Amino acid sequence: ETGVTQTPRHLVMGMTNKKSLKCEQHLGHNAMYWYKQSAKKPLELMFVYSLEERVENNSVPSRFSPECPNSSHLFLHLHTLQPEDSALYLCASSQDRGQGWYEQYFGPGTRLTVT
Amino acid sequence: GENVEQHPSTLSVQEGDSAVIKCTYSDSASNYFPWYKQELGKGPQLIIDIRSNVGEKKDQRIAVTLNKTAKHFSLHITETQPEDSAVYFCAASIRSGGGADGLTFGKGTHLIIQP
């Protein structure tokens, strides 16, 4: 276990549904990330939060809405998704000390299927 | 933005032999290069990383080399074992002035260890 948990592990939703993905890190880190992993494509960075502030939004459609209420929790709110949004959504965390690069630790992911 | 190319997409080696996976990156400002291993149903797990001020790093059977001039880096696994079978991802990142930074990933290499 990496200390990063994600729920649910699997989710099937219709295009008109609203759902949320949850991530929790137990590592005392101060930065959290959402990545999308689709078949035959590289992992794509979606959002970055550092000290609970969003520092990067990687041109992600507005039907994906992140929320970081504190340094341990990260949510991804989903609404009116498209079938091409079906993918594995991965959460990661790291400790940013402002002096160099520190390792990112990933959770197991949420397998999302949009029908 | 940064672009990371990874080769080969599939690599099959005999147990006990060595495996080499290669990546190239486009942005000369990139200064952090981690490697991740992903097993079925799990999130990526960091196995080794290297920073741009180092040319080589080794951890038991795993080593990573970096050539900044040519903008490529490689993962070397010696004495391969069945448990090394997985998908391996390289990544690159630019450490900017403050806050956390996302990673740009390669497409992955499916490593198969033949008994």
| Per-residue tens of pLDDT for chain B, all 115 residues | 789 999 999 999 999 999 999 999 999 888 889 999 999 989 999 999 998 888 999 999 999 999 999 999 999 999 999 999 999 999 998 765 444 567 899 999 999 999 9
Q: How far is B6 from chain A (nearest CA, A)?
A: 10
CA–CA dist B15, B32 (Å, integer): 30
- Across the interface, whether the CB atoms of B95 and A56 are under 8 A apart is answered no
pLDDT at residue B99, rounded to an integer: 47
Hey, what are A111's tokens?
Answer: 């397998």
Closest to B46 (Cβ–Cβ): which among A33, A56, A103? A103
pLDDT at residue B60, rounded to an integer: 96
- Give B68-72 contacts, CB < 8 A, sequence gap 24+: B68/B28, B70/B24, B71/B24, B71/B25, B71/B26, B71/B28, B72/B22, B72/B23, B72/B24, B72/B25
pLDDT at residue A39, rounded to an integer: 86
The residue in chain A having the minimum alpha-carbon distance to the alpha carbon of residue B37 is: A106
B104 CB within 8 Å of a chain A CB: yes
CA–CA dist B75, B86 (Å, integer): 14
Name B64's bridge partners.
B57, B75
The residue in chain B having the minimum alpha-carbon distance to the alpha carbon of residue A46 is: B102
| Per-residue tens of pLDDT for chain A, all 115 residues | 679 999 999 999 998 889 999 999 999 998 899 999 998 788 999 998 887 777 777 789 999 999 999 989 999 999 999 999 999 999 999 887 665 557 889 999 999 999 9
- Across the interface, whether the CB atoms of A104 and B46 are under 8 A apart is answered yes
Omega cis (within 30) before A69? no
Q: Please count the residue pairs, one from chain A and one from chain B, whose beta carbons lie less than 8 angstroms apart.
A: 74
SS in 3 state form for A88-108? EEEEEEECCCCCCCCCCEECC
pLDDT at residue A95, rounded to an integer: 86
Count the Cβ atoms, other than its own, within 10 Å of residue A114: 19
pLDDT at residue B94, rounded to an integer: 72
CA–CA dist B83, B93 (Å, integer): 28
